[in-house]
A = this chain, B = another copy of it.
Amino acid sequence: MRPLGDSPLVRNDKTLVLAHDHGLEHGPKQFSGVEERLDPREVFEMATHDAVTALAVGKGLAETYYPSYEDDVNLLAKLNGGSDLWMGDPYSPQNWSVDYAAELGADAIGYTIYPGVNRETDMFEDFRPVQENARDHDLPIAMWSYPRGQAIKEHRSPSTIAYAARIGLELGADFTKVKYPRDKEAMAHAVRSAADNRVLLSGGSKTSDRDFLELVEDCMDVGVSGLAVGRNVWQRDDPYDILDKLEGVIFEDATADDVL
């Protein structure tokens, strides 16, 4: 088994990734109400919070801003991503090579796979050299595993999420980010399906502090390794407050009630 305990993405065996690829994937409309965060420095600053073990961004943000933050932030290089102007079958183009990510000082690699889509076979084959090249550079690999396509009737059904988590293990990821499969037992099953692969909860769209923190608490209870969260942090009025609370629930065994 690959040792990840001393990886920069893991603290006390837990992980909190702050994800910020929304400018590419969804565009400036995502910054409605928090326009000042169109300046990526705002989000890089959040990533210096102790709770954040890595910041996931694409190439452009990384090469422009990461040099100023490399002492305080761990970089998870999100290699692929497309715009939501695109109407084609789900597929995520690779915009960044592993070699260049490593040269910029990335601490880990992130890659989206959509199992079940028409181009599943392309996506799996795209992932092969990414994964193997990351190993050459000794970089841990996080897979965003989001089943889609004709065969997927429910994106969050227990069996779909368990399969998503398993695919991360089978294809050679170290972390697999999945959506919440509606209930705690289903998440426990996904965690078991992933075996030694670490499951990260996908933060999803913005909800109330209580709903969000209770969800995270439930996940941590059943063995999830942590969280990859974007909008639930940087779209909030006070992202530092929610990061303080997440730190309690993820790294310090606190309950949602404790921190609220």
A interface residues (Cβ-Cβ under 8 A, vs B)? 1-2, 21, 23-24, 27-29, 31, 35, 38-40, 58-61, 63-65, 67-68, 81-88, 91-97, 100, 115-118, 120-122, 124-125, 127-129, 131-132, 135, 147, 149-152, 159-160, 162-163, 166-173, 189, 192-193, 195-197
Contact = CB atoms under 8 A, between A and B. Distances in A.
A97 B125 CA distance: 10
Contacts of A67: 1
A197 to B, nearest CB: 7
Number of copies: 5
A160 B171 CA distance: 31
Contact of A60 (B28, B29, B117, B173): B173
Nearest to A62: B172
A207 to B, nearest CB: 25
Q: Which of A68, A83, A116, A135 has the most CB of B within 10 A?
A: A83
A33 to B, nearest CB: 14
A73 to B, nearest CB: 15
Contacts of A121: 82, 86, 88, 91-93
A64 B4 CA distance: 11
Contact of A23 (B68, B125, B135, B166): B166
A58 B128 CA distance: 12
Q: Which of A64, A135, A147 has the most CB of B within 10 A?
A: A64
A192 to B, nearest CB: 5
Contact of A68 (B1, B86, B147, B189): B1
A152 B195 contact: no
A40 to B, nearest CB: 6
Q: Which of A24, A129, A135 has the most CB of B within 10 A?
A: A24
